[in-house]
């Protein structure tokens, strides 16, 4: 590999199993010379296989509920102790909609579910940056990345209230990113990834049909979880020191398409 992250230290949220983008980011960060702490909510850890990833990458795991300021403060304090210094990169790869899980339609949600999903998927990003910023826990030219999706800008009917959560997540990245850049020279970006066959992604209604549609719409095809990990590594590296406040589409060109010849072929056969 290229040693792009040699000597860098980080925190990676959200690695559930080998299908997760966060899992692939951890593997690639390890290959590029980084040290990092893995974290996920206790319930997610029971569902996944994060211990295998920790062993493979020589990492420690610190359970944390990303909606709890107390847990995040403990995570950051312990991470800097374990890693022996300030943090260079953070990946926020967390998202959940209780309304989707419970089969509640967007037009008739349970608002307690909406609030929980909003807290986990978006407000948690603000909380994480709050602790990192106020504890001055990031090195200068550090990089914080959150994963998002284009439903923040366009209508995808079955994406439900996750679309709202992602729109808010992207706004937080810009707003907090301004202060983090101005005061600590830390960059904050979001990556808007293709539909990806992760455990979470497959929970969206009609996912298989949509992933095929996106593949046929995109001139380069859908980006895989591993390809997203490669892109994330570039944003953690020193090669992108002046990239901040951006929502970066990593989707094979889907986001700029109106229609493709493959899609048109279905209507002209």
Domain ranges of the chain: 9-268
- The pair phi, psi for residue 11, each rounded to 5°, is -130, 130
| Surface-to-core class of residue 1, CB atoms within 10 Å of its CB (0-12 exposed, 13-18 middle, 19+ buried) | exposed
- 79 labeled part of a ligand binding site: no
Give CA–CA dist 96/242, Å, rounded. 31
- 50 labeled part of a ligand binding site: no
Bridge partner residues of 143 (DSSP): 89, 187
Q: What is the pLDDT of residue 175?
A: 98
Q: What is the pLDDT of residue 47?
A: 76
- 21 labeled part of a ligand binding site: yes
Q: How does pLDDT run across 68-106, given as a tens digit for each residue?
A: 999 999 999 999 999 999 999 999 999 999 999 999 999
- The pair phi, psi for residue 248, each rounded to 5°, is -105, 115
Domain 9-268 belongs to what architecture? 3-Layer(aba) Sandwich (3.40)
Q: What is the pLDDT of residue 184?
A: 98
Q: How does pLDDT run across 178-225, given as a tens digit for each residue?
A: 999 999 999 999 999 999 987 665 556 667 888 999 999 999 999 999
DSSP of 140-200, one letter per residue?
Answer: EEEEEEEEE-GGGTS--GGGTTHHHHHHHHHHHHHHHHHHHHHHH--EEEEEEEPP---TT
Average pLDDT value for the chain: 95
Q: What is the pLDDT of residue 63?
A: 96
Residues annotated catalytic, as ranges: 149, 159
> Which of the residue ranges 16-25, 41-50, 107-116, 175-184 would you say has the lowest mean pLDDT?
41-50
Among 96, 153, 152, 145, which residue's Cα sits nearest to residue 119?
96
The sign of the dihedral angle between the CA atoms of 64, 68, 74, 78 is positive
- Residues 106-130, mean pLDDT to the nearest whole number: 98
How large a percentage of the chain has pLDDT more than 70?
97
CB distance 31 to 92 below 8 Å? no
- 166 labeled part of a ligand binding site: yes
- 9 labeled part of a ligand binding site: no
């Amino acid at each position: 590999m290229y040693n792009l992250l040699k000597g860098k230290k980080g925190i990676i949220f959200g690695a559930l199993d080998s299908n997760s983008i966060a899992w692939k980011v951890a593997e690639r960060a390890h290959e590029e010379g980084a040290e990092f702490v893995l974290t996920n909510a206790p319930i997610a850890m029971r569902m996944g296989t994060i211990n295998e990833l920790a062993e493979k990458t020589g990492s420690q795991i610190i359970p944390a509920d990303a909606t709890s300021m107390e847990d995040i403060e403990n995570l950051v304090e312990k991470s800097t102790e374990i890693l022996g210094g300030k943090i260079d990169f953070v990946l926020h790869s967390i998202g959940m909609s209780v309304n989707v899980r419970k089969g509640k339609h967007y037009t008739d949600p349970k608002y307690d579910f909406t609030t929980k999903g909003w807290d986990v998927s978006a407000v948690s990003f603000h909380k994480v940056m709050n602790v990192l910023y106020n504890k001055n826990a990031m090195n200068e030219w550090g990089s914080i990345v959150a994963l998002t999706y284009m439903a923040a800008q366009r209508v995808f009917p079955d994406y439900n209230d996750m679309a709202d959560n992602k729109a808010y997540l992207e706004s937080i990245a810009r707003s907090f990113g301004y202060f983090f850049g101005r005061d600590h020279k830390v960059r904050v970006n979001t990556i808007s990834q293709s539909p990806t066959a992760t455990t979470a992604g497959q929970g969206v209604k009609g996912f298989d049909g949509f992933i095929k549609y996106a593949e046929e719409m995109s001139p380069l095809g859908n980006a895989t979880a591993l390809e997203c990990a490669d892109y994330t590594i570039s944003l953690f590296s020193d090669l992108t020191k002046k990239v901040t406040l951006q929502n970066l589409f990593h989707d094979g060109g889907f986001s700029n398409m109106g229609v493709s010849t493959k899609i048109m072929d279905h209507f002209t056969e």
